[in-house]
């Protein structure tokens, strides 16, 4: 019996693996449209119904529009980790920041809400990026997914695993971690200092500070080691996006913002406050 993407899951260290990625990878244009049109004033069900009935995403069928909402937007930007993450990127969308700054933040939100994607990057992409062979092959991706499912005693059909693998690699291509169409390889990853500073504030807001902010595993999503993270903090300091001081293992990081809206203003160049 084949289960729906919402029913199929595997637990691993408190995480839940789902097959949602077979419904779409980054789908960045759709996610951006929904983020820009979402609000706190109307109930979620009402906004979902309007999206489907009015076909605001321009999908061929209502079922496809429902898939985008139910399997992609809802778990990533409404009920993901962090919750209500649409507000995080809405602040940036409202300030008309370029997609080069927006994309890494959408990627960070997506990866944290899709454990299969997060773990694939840390398990497979990061080690491979340090070697000579930077190709990322479909058969190896399928093998990795099978191993992860086997570890927790779960089973997906071959067809589901293939579609999930395709969605996974497509997402990483669209987010800039991979390049190439049929033959994919790891791309040079560029994280703009504005996006870096914004994500750093998000991690700080979630409870990390000092050295724990430097070594946070989320930076590995961007293929960055702690020394590279330190250099970016210094770059952000020089660009007056935050303040950074280091003495040995002591790291002092302060922000020109007390909340996320103020940080969005800082990276958009609207205001700078004393930390």
Q: Give me the residue label for tokens 């985008």.
A: 68
Asked if residue 189 lies in contact with residue 208, where contact means CB atoms within 8 angstroms, the answer is no
Question: Tell me, what's the pLDDT at 2?
Answer: 39
**Is position 122 within any domain?**
yes
Q: Which domain covers residue 160, as residue numbers?
A: 1-188
**Is position 33 within any domain?**
yes
Asked if residue 113 lies in contact with residue 88, where contact means CB atoms within 8 angstroms, the answer is no
Q: How far apart are CA 119 and CA 24, in angstroms?
A: 18
**Is position 273 within any domain?**
no
> Are 106 and 228 contained in the same domain?
no
> Are 10 and 138 contained in the same domain?
yes
> Are 148 and 49 contained in the same domain?
yes
**Is position 275 within any domain?**
no
| Listed residues 124, 159, 188: the one ending a domain | 188
**Is position 272 within any domain?**
no
> Are 108 and 78 contained in the same domain?
yes
Q: DSSP of 79-121, one letter per residue?
A: SSSSTTTHHHHHHHHHTT--HHHHHHHHHHHHHHH-HHHHHHI
Question: Tell me, what's the pLDDT at 274?
Answer: 55
Question: Tell me, what's the pLDDT at 14?
Answer: 57
> Are 98 and 158 contained in the same domain?
yes
- Tally the domains of the chain: 2
| Listed residues 143, 171, 188: the one ending a domain | 188
> Are 46 and 101 contained in the same domain?
yes
CB proximity list for 34: less than 8 A, separation 6 or greater: 51, 57, 68, 69, 73, 77, 86
Instruction: Say which CATH number the domain at 203 has.
Output: 1.10.10
> Are 132 and 157 contained in the same domain?
yes
> Are 169 and 114 contained in the same domain?
yes
| Listed residues 171, 188, 205: the one ending a domain | 188
pLDDT along the chain (275 residues), means of 10: 39 71 93 94 89 84 89 95 96 96 98 96 96 94 95 89 97 96 91 97 94 96 96 96 90 95 91 53
54 Cα distance to chain centroid: 28
- Rounded to two decimals, the pTM is 0.91
Query: Across-strand partners of 251?
Result: 246
Residue of 139, 103, 133, 140 lying closest to 221 (CA atoms): 103
**Is position 76 within any domain?**
yes
Which tokens is 97 given?
């920041």
Instruction: Say which CATH number the domain at 25 has.
Output: 1.10.3540.10
Asked if residue 70 lies in contact with residue 24, where contact means CB atoms within 8 angstroms, the answer is no
Asked if residue 266 lies in contact with residue 241, where contact means CB atoms within 8 angstroms, the answer is yes
């Amino acid at each position: 019996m084949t289960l729906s993407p919402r029913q199929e899951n595997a637990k691993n260290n408190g995480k839940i693996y789902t097959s949602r990625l077979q419904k779409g990878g980054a789908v960045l244009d759709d996610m951006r449209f929904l983020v820009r049109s979402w609000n706190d004033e109307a109930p979620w069900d009402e906004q979902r119904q309007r999206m489907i009935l009015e076909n605001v995403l321009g999908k061929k069928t209502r079922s496809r529009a429902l898939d985008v909402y139910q399997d992609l937007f809802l778990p990533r930007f409404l009920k993901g980790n962090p919750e209500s993450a649409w507000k995080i990127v809405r602040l940036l969308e409202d300030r008309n920041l370029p997609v080069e700054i927006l994309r890494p933040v959408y990627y960070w939100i997506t990866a944290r809400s899709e454990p299969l994607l997060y773990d694939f990057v840390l398990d497979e992409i990061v080690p491979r990026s340090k070697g000579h062979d930077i190709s990322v092959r479909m058969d190896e991706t399928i093998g990795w997914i099978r191993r992860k499912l086997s570890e927790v005693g779960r089973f997906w059909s071959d067809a589901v695993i293939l579609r999930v693998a395709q969605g996974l690699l497509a997402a990483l291509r669209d987010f800039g971690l991979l390049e190439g169409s049929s033959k994919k390889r790891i791309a040079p990853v560029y994280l703009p200092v504005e996006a870096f500073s914004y994500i750093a504030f998000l991690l700080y807001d979630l409870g990390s500070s000092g050295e724990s902010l430097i070594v946070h595993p989320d930076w590995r999503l961007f293929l960055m080691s702690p020394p590279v993270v330190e250099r970016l903090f210094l770059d952000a300091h020089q660009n007056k996006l935050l303040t950074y001081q280091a003495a040995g293992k002591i790291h002092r990081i302060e922000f020109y913002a007390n909340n996320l809206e103020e940080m969005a203003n800082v990276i958009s160049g609207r205001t700078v406050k004393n930390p």
